[in-house]
Structure 1
Amino acid sequence: MIQIALVDDEALFRKGMKLLLEDYEGITVMLEAQDGEHLLQQLRQASTLPDVLLLDMKMPNLNGVDTAKVLQEAFPTLKIIVLSTYFSKAFIVNMIELGAGAYLPKNANPDEVVATIREVYSNGFSYNQAVLEVIRDNMLQKSKPKMPLSFGVDITSREKEILQLICEEYTTSEIAEKLFISPRTVDGHRNNLLEKLSCKNVAGLVVYAIQYQLVKINPETFWFKKR
């Protein structure tokens, strides 16, 4: 069962989303909040954290951007999906750099929302075509890659293989099968990458890998294609 948290200042939207999501098998809404402050209060008191957070951008008291900044430090394992009417390039790039695993418009098809939830729950991220175009444009605007904060860190050939496959949206079990290693070994390499590159979660790892060209990607193709 995927445990969902909903954060939006519109009560009607929250109630509608709750009814919609729980109509799908394997999904339940365990927490609702009206803004970032309300969310953080509940998370700090919760005995169990939600798996995926659906986060609005414009909210009183603590907006989506500031909430994501706090979550990145206090609850780095919480997977974030932005669900907002604000779909500008600046917002998307900012939230992805803060570790958002997906960014969807509020008028997205319910099936797409649920599919994204499941993808983010399994893989840590799910970027649709519109978001991929923003990532591509952001990459093309960079005349040269910035010097990574972790410059000089030694990444093994196996870690590079696993990083590539993570960015190609393979799951832990799929990576294990492809490389003939155990899922626990894959988890160990992924955790080493997170630590070495100072990333909080898989979404941050993917963004870092693309930004500093640690994986093979052609921006003109938007994204990797599984074979």
Structure 2
Amino acid sequence: MLKTNASVAVVNDHILLRNGLANLIRGLETYAILFEANNGKDFIKQLQPRYLQEVVVQDITMPERDGYETALWLKRNYPGIKILALSQYDNEHSIIRMMRNGSKGYILKDIDPLQFRRVLDSLLRKGFFYSELITGKLIHAVSQLDESDEALKSIVSLNAREIDFLKFVCSEMTYKEIAEKMFLSARTIDGYRDALFEKLNVKSRVGLVLFAIKNNIVHV
């Protein structure tokens, strides 16, 4: 059962969108708006350690302190707050970077209001929500975080070069930049990627990142 009046903060520099989102949340049973902020800097200024919100719904592109920086700051200072990224970007780069910085959910701005309610519920019940941008297999991988890492490692054996490649995949480098860093051709890097897709049973770079995080190949 969800906590009564779970508190939410909304961080967005577009006043109309922020107010509309805040009013939507106020109209939901079991949720309450703690405060609204114009950007990450304003959000941090308004935070009160004695009255922390359960969820922060934040934009990514904001002035002064953007969503990436704000999420990372929260991860380091208040890891118990669940971050929901609200973005217009559906590319892997944005998703991966927000996940690495502590986001527990990622949705697009054109989300249906009814679906938005389900997103908030999922954040509180499960601790995470990932939209249709991420496949069911990846959602399953996130939901099984309590599985033994050693058990997973015994199923899939990775060589040293594959592990190095996975570490680079979790950075902001493009595949071309990874190829240069590893002194390999772009075709060889594509081969590493495709082989790992098959070996790890994932379909995207996001899936590779989730595997690396889950198995402590990289630390976030």
Q: TM-score range by the shorter chain?
A: 0.5 to 0.7
How big is the shift at 1:12? Answer: 1.0
- 5 Å-filtered alignment, 1:4-153, equals 4-43=8-47, 45-132=48-135, 144-145=162-163
Q: d(CA) in 1 for partners of 2:120 and 2:164? A: 32
Q: d(CA) in 2 for partners of 1:19 and 1:41? A: 22
On the 8 A contact 1:36/1:63 being kept in 2, the answer is yes
Which structure exhibits the higher relative contact order, with contacts defined as CA atoms closer than 8 Å and separated by 6 or more residues? 1
Alignment: residue pair count: 153
Q: d(CA) in 2 for partners of 1:133 and 1:210? A: 14
Matched, 1:210 2:186: no
Secondary structure in 2 aligned to 1:95? helix
Secondary structure in 1 aligned to 2:22? helix
TM-score (norm 1): 0.60
Q: d(CA) in 2 for partners of 1:117 and 1:213? A: 23
On the 8 A contact 2:119/2:129 being kept in 1, the answer is yes
Q: d(CA) in 2 for partners of 1:60 and 1:213? A: 32
Gaps of 5+ in 1: 137-141, 150-206, 215-227
Counterparts in 2 of 1:210 and 1:56: CA distance versus 1, 3 Å:
same
Q: d(CA) in 1 for partners of 2:112 and 2:103? A: 19
Larger Rg: 2
Q: Deviations over 1:76-101 (max 9, x none)?
A: 11100000112211000111111211
Q: Deviations over 1:57-82 (max 9, x none)?
A: 01010000111111111111110000
Counterparts in 2 of 1:80 and 1:134: CA distance versus 1, 3 Å:
farther
The RMSD of aligned alpha carbons is 3.1
Q: d(CA) in 1 for partners of 2:35 and 2:100? A: 25
Gaps of 5+ in 2: 140-157, 168-207, 216-220
TM-score (norm 2): 0.61
State percent identity of aligned pairs.
Answer: 25
How big is the shift at 1:132? Answer: 3.2
